[in-house]
Amino acid sequence: MRLRYFCFIILLSLNYEALASHIIGGEVTYECLGNGRYLIEYHLYRDCAPGNQNFDNINIMTYFVCDSDGNCEELSQSDGETIRSPSSVEIREVDPPPLECLVAPVEACVEEAIYTFEIDGLRDVFTPMTDKSYVIVFQRCCRNETILNIENPSTSGSSFVVKITPESQASCNNSPEFKSFPPTIICNNEPINFDHSAIDPDGDSLVYSFCTPLLGAGTAGDPITDPMGNSDDCDGSKPTPACPNYNQPVDFIGPTYSAEAPMAGDPIVSIDSETGLITGIPNIQGQFVVGVCVEEYRNGQLLGTIQRDFQFNVAACVTNVTAQIQSDNITNNTGPTGEIISRNFNFTFCGQDRVEFINESFERSFIDEIRWEFDGATILSDDWDAEVIFPSQGDYEGKLFLNPNSQLCIDSANIFVKILPELTADFNQSFDSCAIGPITFMDSSYTDGQAITAWEWDFGDGGSSSDQNPVYQYPNSGNYDIFLTVRDVNGCEDSETANVEYSPVPQFISIAQNTNGGCTPTPIQFTNNSTPIDNSYNVIWDFGDGNTSNQISPIHVYEEPGIYSVSLSIETPTGCEVAEDYEDLITILASPTAGFSLNPTELSTVNPTVNVTDGSINTTSWRYQFDTQGSSTESSPAFTFRDTGMQQIVQVVTASNGCRDTAIQFIDIIPFVEWFMPNAFTPTRDGINDIFIGNGVLLGATDFVFTIWNRWGELVFETNDYTEGWNGRKNNVGRDSPAGVYVYVLSYRTPRGEIVRLEGFSTLIR
């Protein structure tokens, strides 16, 4: 008899009709609560990149009873149907997988929504429960159109299914739950090692396998067709009711892809049936649909199966671990498309058999183990850097391995070493250290039987040569560092440095001076034109008057008259010496001594004449300059100044030999200011003493103020004009003031800024 199974299909209703290509996977699990009650958890995963749709808003559930042929009948509430919204919805962002030393080219954003429903009353619908399975299905369209391993991904929807078997119902069994979320990014050509195992709360045995993801839903007007070619009338992005043909498999693109081999790889990506560990090395970039099934067994009996449908993304990751060795010569081995497959670090050592290799690999935090290998050589130290001894000349190959015993974070570098014969640079030089002339440099470099092909000389002053044995003339004396670099036919190089002290004595001494003599005191600039010479030479000048100098070109002042011989001695740093005497080179004449005295030493505008008395010595002629006001050639002249202020008097005297001397003095011509006031006046208008006014000299004075006050403190007269006086009337226009004593106050500023104040009494007599 054929066993008939009834499928209880729960359709999760959605709130919009748009395509959901943002959905990338999901699974359904259950928990038995007893008495026909079950807690259903539906896990849905979406790509949460900006611009993608959010999760569906699930409103209600509807029940359908289907037989094993796919014939479904909707239950009514009178049959015991219970309509419920989700008891809870949890949305969380899924953390990306740790890639250790690998860096994904993009950051994949994935969110998980967990919809929780509680179902009860099933015993009222299905009694007894011994031969029926409940199948819970969620259907949604569509998958990403960029998926590589199935046909028509953009119009192929998904069915997320869980079956509660009669055996599971009888024991109130709970389904397994996956422990981890699948990796959002898998690195191309890198090993995958993902634990896709599940936890069973009842301790049942679990068996893992890759299985076929299921179709479900489609685009409107595009009904689902089963493998036999039969078309289902349910279509659309979220069919209501759900398509009974939920168990139709996706169509893998064969023979490259299949349910058991959903991804390309070498070795192929596979899952361990006992541990759920997914391993392999994917070698094609892209998006792949993968189904993972977990069968649950108790005492050898199959209780049920849960299935996860998920999209794996394989991308070209960049490794953070790179093998690198300090080298000036690096070449790359490339693949057919120009990608770098490996790197060669090339070394050439001339006459060196003990070599240290500097490890510059990165990132060091991801490098747990290193290993150096060299064929035919002895490795003395191989911690981070390596020290290696090569037995003889020749070519050697080696390799640096990073994390050699790991599957991830590995890299290596090829090492090619060439040990060549030793090349030694050497030279010497020949020249007369005391004489001016060229230096001959003689190459004495040597090698083990290899021809030297190039010489590069640097003479330390900007000069150079490529001759083997050059001759070089230094234009100046000095201490020079000579560099010689030689190169042989193998390209080996070596350098040698030596110091040359080039300090010959001048071939002849040459001096010049700005004058051959003068009048005392005479400064003379002596210029040493001898070459070559610099500050390292010992130079001694003897000026013939008891004074000497070690400067190369000194200035010397002759204080006494006479005829002087000058000598110059030059000694090189190496002790070579040359000298020259110049007889009667300098003639110095005696100068007169200027000097004069003044009488008086201060003048004024009242007495502006000064008398000059000559005090010069050895003088035959005189000339005086009285500031800009005049001059005289008398020996002791008198001069009257026309202006006030400080005046300069210059005396220039000349001796019979023509030598001159100058003396300068200053004399001050003070402006004379003085003002006197009378003590009484008689303003009777008889023309005699009618005005009270002062008398004196106020030339150059300023700020003149003259006031008169009566005995009651009343101001009766005021003026700023020193030529104006008081006529005895108030302000010179009122009625006559009475006779009596009046107070006057007068002030002014002298030409040199001094303020003068006069106060006194004046008697008005009538």
Task: Supply the CATH number for residue 473's domain.
Answer: 2.60.40.10
What pLDDT, on the 0 to 100 scale, is given for residue 68?
46
pLDDT given for residue 21 in this prediction:
56
Does 2 reside within a domain?
Answer: no
Same domain flag for 416 and 432? no
Please choose, from the candidates 22, 312, 318, the residue with its C-alpha nearest in 3D space to the C-alpha of residue 181. 312
Residue with token string 């030059």: 570
User: In this predicted structure, what is the pLDDT of residue 19?
Assistant: 42
pLDDT of residue 242: 59
Indicate which CATH number applies to the domain containing 359: 2.60.40.1080
Residue 696 lies in a domain: yes
For residue 51, what are the contacts with CB-CB under 8 A and spacing of at least 6? none
Dihedral in degrees, nearest 10, Cα atoms 161, 52, 55, 153 = -10
C-alpha closest to that of 682 among 723, 725, 645: 725
Q: Is residue 230 part of a domain?
A: yes
Q: Does residue 155 form part of some domain?
A: yes
One domain for residues 79 and 126: yes
The token duo for 635 is 């020996």
Domain end call among 586, 621, 653: 586
Block mean pLDDT (10 aa), the chain, length 766: 35 38 85 86 84 67 46 44 61 74 68 83 48 74 86 85 84 93 84 92 96 78 45 57 72 93 92 95 92 96 93 83 91 78 89 93 87 93 92 94 82 93 93 92 87 95 96 93 94 93 92 94 95 92 96 96 96 92 96 96 93 96 96 97 93 96 95 93 92 92 95 94 95 91 96 94 92
Task: Give the C-alpha separation, 400 to 412, whole Å.
Answer: 5
- The pLDDT, as a whole number, for residue 62 is 43
User: Is the peptide bond preceding residue 521 cis, with omega within 30 degrees of 0?
Assistant: yes
- For residues 193 and 303, membership in a common domain is answered with yes
**pLDDT computed for residue 81 by the predictor:** 42
239 upstream amide cis, omega within 30 of 0: no
Q: How many domains does the chain have?
A: 6
What's the rounded Cα separation, in Å, for the pair 308 and 182?
10
Please indicate, yes or no, whether residues 111 and 186 belong to a single structural domain of this protein. Answer: yes
Listed residues 474, 502, 530: the one ending a domain: 502
Question: What CATH number has the domain bearing residue 695?
Answer: 2.60.40
Q: Is position 406 within any domain?
A: yes
Round to the nearest angstrom and report the end-to-end CA distance of the chain: 172
Residue-level pLDDT at 97: 64
pTM assigned to the model: 0.50
Q: Do strands 277-280 and 270-271 pair parallel, antiparallel, or not at all (unpaired)?
A: antiparallel
Q: In angstroms, what CA-CA distances link 7 with 81, 172, 247, 551, 754?
A: 14, 18, 12, 118, 129
User: Residues 405, 522: one domain?
Assistant: no
Number of helices and strands in the chain (H, E): 2, 60
Residue 124 shares a structural domain with residue 196: yes
Q: Is the same domain home to 325 and 442?
A: no
Does a structural domain hold residue 591?
A: no
Query: Do 173 and 269 sit in the same domain of this protein?
Result: yes
- Give the pairing of strands 660-670 and 602-604: parallel
Amino acid at 11: L
DSSP 551-591: SSS-EEEE-S-EEEEEEEEEE-TTS-EEEEEEEEEEEEEPP
β partners of residue 742: 762
- Say whether both 44 and 119 belong to one domain: yes
> Residue 642 belongs to what domain range?
596-670
Report the C-alpha gap between 726 and 718 in whole angstroms. 9
Query: CA 440, CA 497: separation in Å to the nearest integer?
Result: 16
Residue 1 lies in a domain: no
Residue 525 falls within a domain, yes or no?
A: yes
152 & 221 share domain: yes
Q: Are residues 250 and 354 in the same domain?
A: no
Phi–psi pair at 77, nearest 5 degrees: -65, -25
CA distance 82 to 66: 17
Residues 360 and 284 in one domain: no
- Can the peptide bond before residue 241 be classed as cis, meaning omega within 30 degrees of 0? yes
- The one-letter code for the residue type at 530 is S
Q: Which residues contact 395 (CB under 8 A, 6 or more apart)?
A: 416, 417, 418, 419
Picking from 502, 537, 560, the residue at the C-terminal end of a domain is: 502
- 142's tokens: 């569509």
